Amino acid sequence: MDLNLITMNKAHFIYYGLACLFLLSFLVSCEDERTDPMDPRFISKGDEIQVRLNERFQTIHHFGASDAWSAEWVGRWPDVSKEPMAKLLFSDEMDAEGNPEGIALTMWRFNIGEGAADQVNSGYASNHWKRETESFLNADGSYDWTRQEGSRWFLQKARDYGVPYVTLWTNSPPYFMTKNGFTFRTEGVEGYNLEPSNYEDFATHLATVTKHLEDEGYPVIILTPFNEPQYEWQFEVGSAVQSGSYATNKEIADITRLIDQKFEALGVRSKIMLPEAGTLRELYEQDNDPEASDQLQEFYGGGSNSVGSLSSMSKYVAGHSYWLNPSVGVSINHRKELLSKMNAVDPTLEFWQTEYSLLGADYRQGGDWTQFTPMDYALWLARIIHIDLVHANATGWSYWTAMNNSEFQDHPDRFSLLLWKPNTDGPSQTDGTFEIQKNLWTLGNFSRFVRPGMTRINVSDPEFPSAEDAGKSFMISGYQGEGQLVMVMINYTDAQRRIAIGNYGDDFEFEGDEVTLYTTSATKNLEAEIVSIEDIVVGPRSITTLVGKLK
């Protein structure tokens, strides 16, 4: 063989070998970069989600919050102190950076006061003065529409900001109609704390207040006369912490029939909603108190307590999502049972979740709450909203409450959207300050973008095909309307995730092939970012709402 050829081939081999070593070194270096889990270039797409615009579920009615009881006190503050709170709750405007100024609630729940604040001795504990309310109705039958000044201020601001719906609710009849002269039950009071001789007067009162607020131009659509009637709300005089009363299904039905008559006589346009069950379980099954449970069957099933056919009755059924969430699986099962029972009794009924905050200890999941961050609470709240919407087909969802004052332990993170602090601890307070809680923005991930009239659509995620696994890890719900597709994505994990939509381009497209992401996380509050359809990344431990304009 030619020695020159051998020498040339050997040189080529050496050159090729060096080139391979260099390439291998480069690949190892690149592999080292992959150790950064936050580098979006190296996030696994995982399985592609599928967005099925033609697979449609419930139509969303609203997202809301209750005024009780803080609005009465905060609403009396100077404008400079309270106006920013109203903006945060009601505004649908964006700031200069494109971030939401507020969470744009679409329902405001206004409490009809029962008059504890008008009594010389209300029976309340002195440190619960914030829960005493005035009554528009006087004991002599006259009305004073200047009462509840602070609550009316927030009601007016809701209207001014364009909040489309208002719900009225009450905890108790006025104290001068009750069996014991208080707005809570005491020992010896049987059944509902309302003298039977005053049933008609109570019905007239509720109809009169509803009609007055309608005539004032407020967008009132619903009255809920009974709040959590399963609970005793019994206290010793001087130790009461709030108003309320137990009521049997029969008592509720009897009084509701009278309210219906008064609505018709006064020309009230609003409808009545029954019940506001203390938990979802009382709606769909008979528990150890058959006289105050199985309320779907009782009120809509055609029996002696059935009132569903009354002309003033709505097709909405309300319950509270407290107490039934020890695990993701249990939470889901309760919602499925509720939906099944509702469809069996009357498939035209719609479920509204009208009160939820982190009451009880389920949110701890066995963890040490003293180590929790605001985002721990926010993620839990987002999970409950998701489960109510996806597994109970809730068309309305409201938080309890918009404003809260308690700073005890972790109460601000559990019960507040806005935490207010008065300038003095007593009814003589005249001003104060407030702090925004992470729960405000969490609710805003839904309320600001999932608007009335949008329809929930099917979004399947092959990476988490089990509802329970999704509830523990990564939840997605989708909504279509107003020419938009909205997806709320809740990432419970410590890893970020790139989202690829498998049927994009085949079944739908976004204008400009881009979307806006609004993220709530430990460091962000509905922060906006415009990204390409190829660059949708959901950060760890975050709630991200995707908004895209459909072509």
Task: Give 371-429 pLDDT, tens digit per residue.
Answer: 999 999 999 999 999 999 999 999 999 999 999 999 999 999 999 999 999 999 999 99
Any domain includes 68: yes
Determine, yes or no, domain membership for 417. no
Tally of structural domains, the chain: 1
Taking the C-alpha atoms of residue 444 and residue 441, their distance in angstroms, rounded to an integer, is 5
Closest to 294 measured CA to CA, from 331, 252, 254: 252
pLDDT recorded at residue 260: 98
**Under 8 Å between Cβ of 518 and 528:** yes
Decide if 291 contacts 250 (C-beta within 8 A): yes
Q: Given phi > 0 = left and psi -120 to 50 = alpha, else beta, which region is 516?
A: beta
Average pLDDT over residues 97-119: 98
pLDDT at 22 over 90: no
pLDDT above 60 (res 25): no
Is the pLDDT at 23 greater than 90, yes or no?
no
The Cα-based distances of 290 to 40, 282, 286, 287, 394 in angstroms read: 56, 9, 5, 6, 25
User: Who's near 378: CB < 8 A, 6+ residues apart?
Assistant: 438, 439, 441, 442, 520, 543
Write out pLDDT tens, residues 509-522.
Answer: 999 999 999 999 99
* pLDDT for residue 46: 52
Residue 83: partners with Cβ closer than 8 Å, 6 or more residues away: none
The three-state DSSP-derived secondary structure of 271-293 is EECCCEECCCHHHHCCCCCHHHC
Asked whether residue 272 is domain-assigned, the answer is yes
Decide: helix, strand or coil at residue 158.
helix
Range picked from 18-22, 45-49, 450-454 for highest mean pLDDT = 450-454
**Cα(201)–Cα(448) distance, integer angstroms:** 40
Q: Are strands 396-399 and 350-355 parallel, antiparallel or unpaired?
A: parallel
In a domain, 152, yes or no: yes
pLDDT tops 90 at residue 30: no
CB 303 within 8 A of CB 297: yes
Listed residue (263, 520, 283) closest to 385, CA to CA: 520
Q: Specify the pLDDT at position 26.
A: 41
Burial class (CB in 10 A: 0-12, 13-18, 19+), 537: middle
Q: Which residue has the tokens 């001068």?
A: 176
pLDDT score of 45 more than 50: no
Does residue 494 come out as left (phi exceeding 0), alpha (psi in the -120 to 50 range) or beta? alpha
Contact status, residue 127 vs residue 82, Cβ threshold 8 Å? no
SS3 169: strand
Across 170-177, average pLDDT: 98
Residue 362 has pLDDT above 90, yes or no: yes
Cβ-Cβ contacts under 8 Å for 20 (sequence gap 6 or more)? none
Residues 6+ apart with CB under 8 A from 175: 114, 115, 116, 118, 119, 122, 135, 181, 182, 183
DSSP letter for 21, please.
H
Q: What is the mean pLDDT of the segment spanning 321-330? A: 98
* Rounded average pLDDT over 103-109: 99
Question: How many Cβ atoms from other residues are within 10 Å of residue 316's Cβ?
Answer: 21
Residue 278 covered by a domain: yes
Range scoring the smallest mean pLDDT among 14-18, 286-290, 349-353? 14-18
Distances, alpha carbon 332 to alpha carbons 47, 56, 345, 347, 448, in Å: 24, 20, 20, 20, 25
Task: Give the pLDDT mean for 157-165.
Answer: 98
Residue 266 lies in a domain: yes
Burial of 352 (0-12, 13-18, 19+ CB in 10 A): buried
Distance CA 486, CA 309 (A): 36
- Separation CA 202–CA 233 (nearest Å): 19
**Number of neighbours of residue 309 by Cβ within 10 angstroms:** 8
Please report which confidence band the pLDDT of residue 39 belongs to, taking 50, 70 and 90 as the band edges.
very low
pLDDT at residue 95 is higher than 50: yes
- Counting runs of H as helices and runs of E as strands, what totals does the chain give? 13, 21
Structure-token match 């440190």, residue found: 127
| Per-residue DSSP letter, 508 | B
For residue 528, what are the contacts with CB-CB under 8 A and spacing of at least 6? 94, 97, 98, 99, 100, 516, 517, 518
Sequence-separated (6 or more) residues with CB below 8 Å from residue 448: 92, 100, 102, 103, 104, 518, 526, 545
Checking if the pLDDT of 538 tops 50, the result is yes
Q: Please say if the pLDDT value at position 9 is more than 50.
A: no
Tell me which of 41 and 454 has the higher pLDDT. Answer: 454
Task: Give the orientation angle of helix 79-90 with respect to helix 149-160, to 10 degrees.
Answer: 50
> What is the CATH number for 115?
3.20.20.80
| Residue 66 within a domain | yes
| Structure tokens belonging to residue 473 | 């890890």
The predicted pLDDT at position 47 comes to 76
Instruction: Work out the average pLDDT over 251-266.
Output: 98
| Helix or strand run (H / E) with residue 266 | helix 249-266
- Measuring CA to CA, which residue among 140, 155, 289 is closest to residue 220? 155
Residue-range definition of the domain harbouring residue 158? 59-322+349-377+446-454
**Dihedral sign for Cα atoms in the order 309, 313, 315, 318:** negative
* Averaged pLDDT of the chain: 93
Does 6 have pLDDT greater than 50?
no
Q: Please indicate, yes or no, if residue 410 is contained in any of the structural domains.
A: no
Question: pLDDT digit string (tens) for 64-83?
Answer: 999 999 999 999 999 999 99
